[in-house]
Amino acid sequence: MTLPLLNHVLNKTDKTYIHTHAENLMRRALIKYHAWLVEQGLDLSAEKQNAGWVNVHN
């Protein structure tokens, strides 16, 4: 038996909560990924990134 889908419109409070919750999840995921990259030996300092950019593109 298939149930019909309801057309549900979120109110402003629900939209804000879901958006904020999604942003928090993304932030935690990026922090975790950044920590993993550092553990793998990737140096994310701005000086090294800029130096690499200049060396590659000049």
Query: What is the reported pLDDT for 53?
Result: 53
Reported as a single tens digit per residue, the pLDDT across 5-58 is 566 778 889 889 899 999 999 999 999 999 998 888 887 675 555 555 554 444
Inform me whether the pLDDT recorded for 3 exceeds 50. Answer: yes
Q: Tokens representing 11? A: 């109110």
Boundaries of every domain in the chain = 12-57
Q: Summarize the chain as % helix, strand, coil (round to 5).
A: 70, 0, 30
Strands annotated E in the chain: none
pLDDT of residue 31: 94
Q: How many helices (H) and strands (E) does the chain have?
A: 2, 0
CB-CB contact of 18 with 10 (8 Å): yes
Q: What is the pLDDT of residue 23?
A: 95
Q: Round to whole Å and give the CA distance between 9 and 18.
A: 13
